[in-house]
């Protein structure tokens, strides 16, 4: 069998030591009545060569050479070769959660550096070692805000401009705990939430979620929204793209109590949807309410610097039913990759990646809106992703674009009724002028 080293002689010796005559005897405590029927759907084993042949065929089946102009929460950025060459080193790849600190300083220090970087990006005081992804990070932030809310309100306001799938995840997570997730509509001209609209909402609420940029790529009036929420005793949850944070004011600066987001843009491949990287940062005051692992720097018995898990009393393995979350396995390896990514590109590099991506999207918007009937869907600034209005429903258009090798964007009508002609487009730093031209040509042709 693959991956089992035992020789027959080994097995015999071991059985003798145990004092049984067959391996079967070791399973004697399992009642006969419930023994498994033979499996039907699991085929015979393949060797690695056969496996790779199979997997190469399947992977090749999906290589259509499409040029990706869709973002909508997942972004195609260049990933330096060093990121995954180092992250998949056996010592990172095949280690467990760093419970034995002295034998896990590699992972622990990496987490500490990651926490520092995420705190720096978000302008917050503390960050955890990751949650599953952006959607659950938002859901956990909502639950955390409810726990932390002084007024004990169970109501959280979530603008419609928050990623629709994030809102769905929040709904899946919050219902059972009687947390009410209430939607706030957006201004259809601007594609953002009018801060004044908040005034119309009566009653207490535990938190307001502020997406920045929002799902449409638009910049919300984040500071005004945050101020209004704070005035009413609510916490402010920022839902952000870490790439954007290199160029936009940070949640810490505009009044967020909790910042969450999707770390995928930081060196994680699009991978059909995961594994991604849930980010969460908060203030020192709230850190004991935060879910997920935390690493602290400390010293060893010789007084030398070292790293260890801390505040574990928040977690399920200590606090059990009273834990802040049930999360156990997180996204460790993606966290490692993101840390290496951030270290490789550095402060200036991240700003440049964000800046070029943004500029490419602007160029794309210019080219596409030069086509008759195509215009910006909303007025006002956006970051590296923009909503356009097409002269006809977007769905047919994207299908036609795909046939021309262009993954043209996210059809807003899938999530927003009334926006059937809306298309959300994005061009990251990976796109060349030729790519932008190709898109414009294809769109012109299919409209």
Partner 1 sequence: MLIFDHSRDERSNKAQMPAGEADLSDLPGDRRRSSSTGLPQASEMDVVRHYTRLSQKNFAIDTHFYPLGSCTMKYNPRGSNEAAMLPGFLGRHPETPAAYSQGILSVLWDLQEMLADICGMHAVSLAPAAGAQGEYAGVAMIRSYHQAHGNHDRDEIIVPDSAHGTNPATASMGGFRTVEIQTKPDGDIDLDSLDEALSERTAGLMITNPSTLGLFERGIKEIADKVHDAGGLLYYDGANLNAILGKVRPGEMGFDVMHFNLHKTFSTPHGGGGPGAGSVGLSERLVPFAPVPLVAQAENGSYYLQYEQQRPDTIGRMTAFPANVGVLLRAYAYLRMVGREGLERIAEHAVLNSNYLLERLRRYYKVAYPDRRAMHEFILTLEDLAKSDAHVSAMDVAKRMLDFGMHAPTAYFPLSVPECFLVEPTESEAKETLDQFVAVLADIRNEAESDPEIPKNAPYSLPVKRLDDVRAAKELDLTYTGEPKAAG
Q: Which is nearer to a copy of itself, 116 or 430 (CB)?
A: 430
The DSSP 8-state label assigned to residue 98 in this structure reads S
Interatomic CA distance for residues 279 and 256, integer angstroms: 14
Question: What values do phi and psi take at 33, rounded to 5?
Answer: -60, -25
Kindly state the tokens that stand for 215: 């799902």
Tokens 């020192």 correspond to 284
Which residue number, 2 or 31, has a Cβ lying nearer to a copy of itself?
2
Site for ligand PLP in 295-334 (CB under 6 A): 328-329
**CB of residue 78 vs partner 1: minimum separation in angstroms?**
7
**Nearer Cβ to a copy of itself, position 122 or 357?**
357
DSSP state at residue 125: S
**Nearest approach, Cβ of residue 328 and ligand PLP (Å):** 3
Contacts of 30 (CB under 8 A, 6+ apart): none
* Nearest distance in Å: CB 129, ligand PLP: 13
In this structure, the dihedral spanned by the alpha carbons of residues 245, 249, 254 and 255, taken in order and rounded to 10 degrees, is 30
The count of C-alpha atoms lying within 13 angstroms of the C-alpha of 193, restricted to the half-sphere facing its C-beta, is 31
DSSP string, 120-168: HHHT-SEE-S-BS-HHHHHHHHHHHHHHH-TT---EEEEETTS-HHHHH
> What's the closest the beta carbon of residue 121 comes to a copy of itself, in angstroms?
22
Size of residue set near ligand PLP by CB under 6 A: 2
CA–CA gap between residue 370 and residue 49 (Å, rounded): 51
Of 361, 315, 319, nearest to 75 by C-alpha is 361
Q: Does 85 bind a copy of itself (CB under 8 A)?
A: yes
In terms of DSSP H, where are the helices of 315-331? Answer: 316-319
Nearest CB to a copy of itself, comparing residues 82 and 299: 82
CB of residue 105 to partner 1, shortest distance in Å: 4
Kindly write out the interface string for residues 393-432 of this chain, putting x where it contacts a copy of itself by CB under 8 A and - elsewhere: ------------------------------------xx-x
Does 80 sit near a copy of itself (CB under 8 A)?
yes
Q: Is 49 in the site for a copy of itself (CB under 8 A)?
A: yes
Nearer of residues 58 and 304 to a copy of itself, judged by Cβ = 58
Residue 348 interacts with a copy of itself (CB under 8 A): yes or no: no
Other C-beta atoms closer than 10 Å to the C-beta of 164 total 17
Q: How far is the CB of 127 from ligand PLP (least distance, A)?
A: 20
Continuous H helices in 370-404: 394-403
Which of a copy of itself, partner 1, ligand PLP, none has residue 381 at its interface (CB below 5 to 8 Å by kind)? partner 1
Sites of contact with a copy of itself (CB under 8 A):
48-49, 52-53, 78, 80-81, 85-86, 88-90, 429-430, 432
Sites of contact with ligand PLP (CB under 6 A):
328-329
């Amino acid at each position: 069998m693959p991956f089992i080293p035992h020789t027959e002689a080994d097995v015999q010796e071991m059985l003798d030591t145990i004092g049984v005559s067959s391996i079967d005897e070791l399973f004697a405590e399992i009642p006969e009545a419930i023994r498994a029927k033979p499996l039907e759907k699991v085929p015979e084993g393949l060797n690695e060569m056969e496996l790779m042949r199979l997997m190469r065929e399947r992977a090749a089946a999906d290589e259509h050479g499409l040029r990706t102009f869709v973002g909508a929460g997942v972004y195609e950025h260049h990933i330096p070769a060093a990121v995954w060459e180092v992250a998949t080193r056996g010592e990172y790849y095949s280690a467990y959660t760093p419970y034995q600190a002295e034998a896990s300083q590699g992972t622990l220090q990496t987490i500490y550096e990651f926490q520092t970087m995420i705190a720096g990006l978000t302008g917050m005081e503390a960050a955890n070692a990751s949650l599953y992804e952006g959607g659950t990070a938002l859901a956990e932030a909502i639950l955390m805000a409810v726990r932390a809310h002084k007024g004990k309100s169970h109501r959280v306001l979530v603008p419609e401009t928050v990623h629709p799938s994030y809102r769905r995840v929040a709904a899946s997570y919050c219902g059972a705990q009687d947390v009410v997730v209430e939607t706030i509509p957006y201004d259809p001209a601007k594609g953002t939430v009018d801060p004044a609209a908040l005034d119309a909402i009566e009653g207490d609420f535990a938190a307001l979620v502020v997406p920045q940029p929002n799902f449409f790529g638009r910049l919300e009036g984040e500071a005004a929204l945050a101020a209004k929420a704070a005035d009413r005793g609510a916490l402010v949850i920022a839902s952000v793209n870490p790439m954007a944070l290199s160029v936009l004011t940070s949640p810490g600066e505009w009044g967020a109590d909790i910042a969450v987001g999707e770390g995928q843009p930081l060196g994680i491949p699009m991978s059909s949807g995961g594994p991604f990287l849930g980010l969460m940062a908060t203030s020192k005051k709230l850190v004991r309410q935060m879910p997920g692992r935390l690493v602290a720097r400390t010293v060893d018995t010789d007084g030398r610097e070292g790293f260890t898990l801390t505040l574990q009393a928040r977690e399920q393995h200590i606090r059990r039913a009273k834990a802040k979350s049930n999360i156990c396995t997180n996204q460790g390896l993606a966290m490692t990759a993101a840390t290496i990514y951030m270290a490789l590109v550095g402060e200036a590099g991240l700003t440049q990646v964000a800046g070029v991506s943004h500029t490419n999207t602007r160029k794309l918007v210019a080219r596409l809106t030069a086509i008759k009937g195509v215009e910006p869907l909303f007025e006002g600034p956006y970051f590296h992703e923009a909503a356009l209005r097409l002269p006809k429903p977007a769905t047919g258009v994207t299908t036609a674009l795909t046939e021309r090798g262009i993954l043209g964007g996210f059809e807003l009508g899938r999530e927003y009724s009334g926006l059937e002609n809306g298309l959300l487009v994005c061009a990251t730093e990976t796109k060349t002028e030729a790519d932008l031209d190709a898109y414009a040509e294809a769109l012109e042709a299919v409209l």
